[in-house]
Structure 1
Amino acid sequence: MFKHSIRSRLIALVLLAAVIPASVSVIFSYYFTRESVTRQSIAQNGKLLSLGAADLGNYFEGIDQRASSVYSGINVAGSFYTAILTAKNASGVPVSDTALPDNRHIMSSQLYNLYTADRSIFQIHLFIRSIRQSNTLLAGQFRQETNLTYRPQDNPDGTNRPFVEPAHPDHQYGVKSGFSNYRPGITPVFTLHYPVYKTPSDEILADLSIDFKLSELENISAAMYNAGTERLYIADERGQLLYAQGDGWVGQPLSEGWSGLPEDKESGHFSWRDGNFQGIVLYQHVDTRLFQGYIVKLVSYDELYTDARTITGINTGIGVLLVAVAGIAGVLISISFTRPIKKLIAYTQRVQIGQLGAHIEPVSEDEFGLLTRKITDMTRTINDLILNEYRLEIANKTNELKALQAQVNPHFLYNALQSIASLSLRLGAPKIYDLIYSLGSMMRYSMTTNNPLVTLAQEAEHVENYLILQQERFGAENLSLTLDLEERIRSMIVPKMILQPIVENMFKHAFPDGVQDVRIEIRGRLDEERRLLITLQDNGRGMPAERLEELRQCLDEEALDGSDEEGIGLRNVLARLRLQLGAGCGLLLESSGAGTRVTLVIPRSLEEPKEEEQ
């Protein structure tokens, strides 16, 4: 009998409902989190390697530019290049009555200038082939001697182009002279080998070799990987290492099993599993004039899936807890299941026959008690909503009536002004008629709300009406308007009221000493990108640089100080432009002692208005 009871069925159902979803959730959560973390890590590391390759390219470009400075001063007596050239052929320099000077001073000073141009330079060696002379600068010490044993390093690709030799221990290039406080073979360096040609031929005059410490490579690499959990390698196309983390790699080739990277791809990734490494191998090709190779980054699965395992452990703990709680809850709920449900059935029957004010007291504080209260609250809410619906309908009728009244008043005022204007004509006062017509046109333009967009011609006419009234106030001799709009832009659509607020701002702030000889210019055109540019300029006092910068910052901020009326007006215009025509709209401010210029930039406009105002 027990196994057929509601209690046993409910307990079994609750346990199954908790165990199955929890188990499935834990399994799917683990695999989904692992795949999500992998995709995210690949995307992020791909960006890091791409940026690192760009930084590395910039670094090698800077090295190339510094090395090419050896060609400065061609055919100039006393220059670095001339000193190298004269060592081969003295007739290549300007002829004078004096003997050719010793090149030691020129060599030492020019090499020192090159040495101080980059703090990562460890040693510079210039070998002049014609006289087999080594010029070496190391730790600020210059040595010059004949070197019969040195052989210039050949480019591995068989050409005479400059190239970078991968990391190796430093050496003295066969120079016999000693350097104080220096022991060769201690410092790891990479070397730029730069042949110096006799321009414009392909004859090589000298071989410039610059040893660089690995500090700058370490700085570039540090931004691309986590030294504690990841590995990074920079190697040339032959697998020779330019940089790697740790010790013991200098002079060693990249011989790991995963080092056979695809040659037909600039960047990518692949999974790798062997006895030494299991994880993701990411690579980025580097192609510069001096160096061609790859940046390789290794991310192990252990590090990659740490977060996934942590999240899975948390989910498993939560799942076990839910199963235990579900079992206990199933027992407790089944014990008090029957009595509360009967009371709820009786209550719903009373509601069904229309007794919405009926009430039931919960017999317990468990889920059934909560359900009882929620059903009671729901019934009360339904009753309140029915009453509120009647009140809302009455309020809507009232608001509709007020809206109709509000529409009548502007039309009444406008019609009254028209009647007064007609009377002024009959009484022989055309000036008054013009003023009343301008005022009425402004009222009608401002009060028409059925379309927030107008043509540029309509907006310009509104500004002209505004200035006609201002001319009557201050005198036409004290106020002039220049309106210059290209014909093809007059039909373009713009938001209503974007020009008049700016002109009104000019009256308020640009002429504190009174309106005298005021000139306002409004010009509109399309630029080469087919953006609509509207420029408003006055001849007022302008504004200080601090105030100009303050207004520009206000235009960039989301909120403005309510006391700054000028900033609010400009921000209002910019906000409406962006709201109605797109985020690409802009407002530019310029000011000097001769006035202020406001430029509206509207990149998207329509040729015809969507709806003509009535």
Structure 2
Amino acid sequence: MKSWKAWAKLHVYQKVIFVFVALVIPYSLINLWMNLEGQKYVRGDITDSTQSNVNFYSRQLDDQMSFIRNLQLQLLNEPELQKLNFLGKQINEFDSIQLVNRVRDRLIANLNSSDYLVNVGVYIKSFGRTISTQSGITPVPNAEYDVVAGYSELQPSRPLYYRDGKLFFLASANNAAIIAYFQLSVPRFEETLRPLVDRYGDSGALLADDTFRSRISFKTKDEVVKLIGDRIDAKMPDQPDASFTVRSGKQTYLVTNSRISTLGLTLFTYLNQNELTGQLRTFNIWYIVLSIVSIVIIVLFSFSVNLMIHKPLKRLIVSFKILEADSLIRSTGIRPNNEFGYLYRNFDQMVQRLKLSIRENYEQKIALQHSELKQLQSQINPHFLYNSFFNIYMICRSGDMEQASEMARRLGSYYQFITRSGKDEAHLVDEYRHALDYCEIQSIRFSNRIEVEADELPASCAAYEVPRIIVQPVVENAFEHAFENGRRRGHVYVRAAFENEVLRISVEDDGGGLQGEALQALQAKLAHATEAHEKTGLINVGRRIRLKFGETSGVFVSRSEQGGLKAEIVIHFSERGY
């Protein structure tokens, strides 16, 4: 739930970017998965191909060695060789030469049958000599005899004999009375191993026995060979893994092997994986480049969305907020030739139309206020003027010239303020003095039966301008409605306060006042004073104040603590309605 609220608070451009990233990430992950799976498949193919190549060469070697081994076994069964062994040193010289020559011919034929042979020979114990293609007929002991002297017939499963860098096939017959030895060409083995690893720089091949001590190698590194030997020792020697990896420093090597049963050896090759999968690393680099490019595209897309959508939209929203704050001065001032340009132009046109409408409406309201004021001035009660003159007459008859003079002065000041033409506004001090003049006139009229207590107007607000004739009608309402019978004594209290740019002038009386539903009806009318059609009295005053100073200002009525009605004028000068 919280995540949805957080999503709802995001800006439009942020949501667009999130959606874009949400679409790009699965694509990137699928691409990464396909790349990894492809690399895995290619590595498997390379490993299988390398293993197949090793198996192929090992089978070729096995076939060659099987052929040589069969030649050796056939040699041991040659009649001339058996006869020579049987007669031994008792044979005459003529027969000896004939038999030896035939044996040599057979040895030479065996030598020429395979490129892997460099020397073919036999040792005949009873004859006391060795016969070979290299040394001919040589009495023992000699160098070739030393090779076969350590041969044990108890180890027929190990026909291969490695000594002093030379490799021999050994086989015996007649309880080791005849030993055939075939010397294999180590360089030829190396030539056979060359095609396996020659195309790679960091690679090598070797033939090793089960103990991994006797071996023929080509292009090998000692540290890698040692790692292979350690791995073989850790496994069953007769069950090595078909392929495995070893790590030397920062390099990883793929090791493949294949058993050559005829030789009793295992063919090992190792290749640097970086050379095998070099192209795959290129794909990895391109994938990283693609990922970086994707990130750059996302960043550029974010900036472009922010520049082309968010900022123009934010500028338009700011303009709307300023307009919402009752300010019609601001204009977007931008005319791009796109969709936002269309919105900006129409926004400015709307603001201009609003300005025009408000100006027309304001001027109409001012004209209405002016006409209402003129109408109010024309509605001066002639009875008030008649009663005032009659009161002056009666005071003069009584001989109280000072009070008559004061009455005449107050009446003159009162009508001078009412009949003054020109401005529709007056300084608050003049408006307040006009209301007090009215209070004095009424006090004299009622023979001082109604006492008026009035506060001094705070000096800090004396110079403020207010609509004319807004205080006197409120005071007049107290005299006319609170003391309608004109017989009882009463009090009128006029209070003035000014604080935080808010003016409060209250008029209270201790008369009968309004009761119950009548008071509620008056309060309802004053609450909607701008909609009322009355042109005089409290409603008129309340409407004029609200049109001038806004909805928080106006006239408010309530029950007074003195027992009568309390009418309060409230003006917020900081919230002017124009």
Q: If the length of structure 1 is used for normalisation, what is the TM-score?
A: 0.41
Higher helix content, 1 or 2? 2
